């Protein structure tokens, strides 16, 4: 890279950031000066950087103290590790100031983590984004040496979704018939189409969501990992989508793929699933009641966005509902590669979600009162888990039903999904 090109990019980039209209989101960046933002493509990580920069400018920080670079800029296609130093020198020659750095999609550059650690060691303020959760791997965490705080960026939560649509959802608004109906209608759209920011005001989202999935699938999974069995991993993702809500084992996936066209080893299946997790397409949920080996090998898998999941499903609203509840819990309580915050529970009975640190048990049932059998199955699981573990709160999330059920262990709240998300 040459300095003239880098200087042009520096000047162009800050001008571009200032033009964006962005929605403030529920992410806290207080108390530290080095952050890594990770998450799926198009979840809004770049917008988080734009919002932070715009806040700084509004509060009086001069442009000369801000350095924003998007490493997906085609002008940086030849950028190498050594060019990081040229970037700092170029900014210094332009402005003579020590900048705060905003480095977007930095995972595209080899050995980026060494540069990031050097910045942190020399007390720069740094915000970094990346699409690939390999940025959370043990190797990278060791390289960063605890110098960065990791923030997981999901598609919009329901609060953010309503804010983007300018729909009021405070306590007073939820009491009004018309305003409450607006919230419920938006909730149904959110259930069906997901929360990727660009889809919020799209009248038709399927083509856009399909293009996002193709970029994740072909770019972050196939190309990045050098996969040659493209058909095999495509079938695997489809079968996992059709198995949302149910535990699925590596052996089961291997048998399905082998039956669909050629033998695939168990080791290959494990790698394929990990690649999908690395790209933030899939989020794993472990069985709290299982032994160690089963905890790792027989899991539930949820998709990062309901709109993407719906690409694989036809008339499967109950599955979309459970996926949405999973995402809500992951946002609230966190989801890392160890997956040790939110669980499901499955022994002689099943509970869809259990959060031990919060003593929270959650069932998902599209229509609880559809039959006596459904009612008994869902409530029995919550009764049994309360007998075995601490359960300060037990909830059944439904599409539209609301009630309070009493048993020997207290109360079970029945909540419509939109209310649970709020």
Q: What is the pLDDT of residue 256?
A: 84
Domain-wise residue ranges, the chain: 3-152, 158-198, 347-422
Model pTM greater than 0.85? yes
β-bridge mates for residue 103, sequence order: 69, 128
Radius of gyration from C-alpha coordinates of the chain: 23
The CATH architecture to which 3-152 belongs is 3-Layer(aba) Sandwich (3.40)
d(CA 333, CA 340) in angstroms, rounded, equals 10
Half-sphere exposure of 46 (CA within 13 A, CB side): 22
Helix (H, G, I), strand (E, B) or coil at 285: strand
d(CA 374, CA 3) in angstroms, rounded, equals 67
Would you state the structure tokens that stand for residue 251, as one six-digit string? 């052996």
Find, among 298, 313, 380, 388, the residue nearest to 344 by Cα: 298
Containing 180, the helix (H) or strand (E) segment is: helix 177-193
Helix (H, G, I), strand (E, B) or coil at 396: strand
DSSP label at 370?
G
- The dihedrals phi and psi of 413, each to the nearest 5 degrees, come to -85, 130
Q: What is the pLDDT of residue 139?
A: 63
127-148 burial, b at 16+ Cβ within 10 Å, e below that, comes to: bbbbbbbbbbeeebbeebeebb
Q: What is the pLDDT of residue 260?
A: 67
Q: What is the pLDDT of residue 261?
A: 62
d(CA 306, CA 273) in angstroms, rounded, equals 19
d(CA 346, CA 315) in angstroms, rounded, equals 26
Contact indicator for 257, 235 with CB cutoff of 8 Å: yes
Q: Which residue has the tokens 């069932």?
A: 363
Find, among 293, 282, 217, the residue nearest to 249 by Cα: 293
Helix (H, G, I), strand (E, B) or coil at 407: strand
Q: How much of the chain exceeds pLDDT 90, in percent?
A: 77
d(CA 303, CA 340) in angstroms, rounded, equals 18
DSSP E strands: which ranges in 296-339?
Answer: 298-303
Q: Which residues of the chain have pLDDT under 70?
A: 133-139, 141-142, 260-262, 336-337
Residue 2 CB neighbours (<10 A) = 10
Find, among 297, 282, 274, the residue nearest to 137 by Cα: 274
150-182 burial, b at 16+ Cβ within 10 Å, e below that, comes to: bbbbbbbbbebbbbbbeeebeeeeeeeeeeeeb
Q: Which residues contact 271 (CB under 8 A, 6 or more apart)?
A: 225
DSSP label at 134?
G
The interaxial angle of helices 3-19 and 45-58, nearest 10 deg, is: 80
d(CA 205, CA 128) in angstroms, rounded, equals 29
**What spatial distance separates the first Cα and last Cα of the chain, rounded to whole Å?**
49
**Chain centroid, CA 98 distance in Å:** 33
For residue range 59-81, what is the model confidence (pLDDT) as tens digits?
Answer: 999 999 999 999 999 999 999 99
């Amino acid at each position: 890279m040459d300095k003239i090109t880098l200087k042009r990019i520096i000047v162009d980039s800050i001008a571009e950031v200032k033009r964006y209209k962005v929605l403030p989101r529920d992410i806290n960046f207080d108390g530290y000066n080095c952050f890594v933002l990770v998450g799926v493509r198009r979840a809004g990580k770049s917008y988080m950087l734009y919002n932070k920069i715009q806040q700084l400018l509004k509060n009086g920080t001069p442009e000369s103290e801000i350095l924003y670079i998007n490493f997906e800029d085609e002008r940086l296609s030849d950028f190498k590790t050594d060019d990081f130093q040229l970037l700092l020198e170029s900014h210094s020659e332009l402005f003579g100031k020590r900048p705060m750095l905003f480095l977007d999609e930095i995972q595209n550059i080899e050995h980026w983590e060494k540069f990031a650690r050097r910045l942190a060691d020399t007390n720069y303020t740094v915000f970094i984004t990346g699409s690939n959760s390999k940025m959370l791997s043990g190797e990278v965490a060791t390289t960063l040496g605890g110098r960065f705080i990791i923030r997981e960026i999901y598609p919009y939560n329901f609060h953010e979704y309503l804010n983007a649509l300018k729909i009021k959802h405070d306590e007073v608004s939820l009491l009004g018939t018309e305003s409450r109906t607006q919230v419920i209608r938006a909730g149904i759209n959110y259930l069906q189409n997901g929360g990727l920011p660009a889809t919020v005001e799209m009248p038709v989202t399927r083509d856009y969501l399909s293009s996002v999935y193709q970029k994740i699938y072909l770019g972050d999974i196939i190309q990045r990992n050098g996969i040659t069995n493209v058909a095999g991993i495509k079938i695997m993702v489809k079968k996992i989508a059709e198995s949302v809500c149910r535990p699925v084992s590596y052996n089961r996936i291997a048998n399905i793929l082998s039956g669909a066209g050629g033998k695939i080893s168990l080791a290959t299946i494990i790698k394929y699933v990990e690649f999908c997790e690395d790209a933030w397409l899939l989020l794993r949920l472990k069985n709290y009641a299982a032994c160690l080996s089963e905890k790792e090998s027989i899991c539930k898998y949820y998709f990062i966005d309901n709109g993407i999941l719906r690409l694989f499903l036809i008339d499967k609203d109950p599955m979309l509902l459970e996926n949405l509840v999973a995402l809500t819990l992951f946002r609230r309580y966190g989801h890392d590669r160890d997956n040790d915050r939110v669980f499901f529970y499955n022994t002689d009975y099943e509970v869809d979600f259990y959060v031990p640190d919060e003593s929270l048990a959650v069932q998902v049932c599209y229509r609880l009162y559809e039959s006596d059998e459904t009612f008994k199955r869902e409530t029995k699981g919550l009764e049994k888990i309360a007998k075995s573990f601490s359960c300060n709160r037990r909830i059944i999330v439904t599409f539209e039903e609301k009630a309070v059920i009493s048993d020997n262990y207290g109360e079970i709240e029945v909540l419509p999904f939109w209310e649970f998300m709020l």
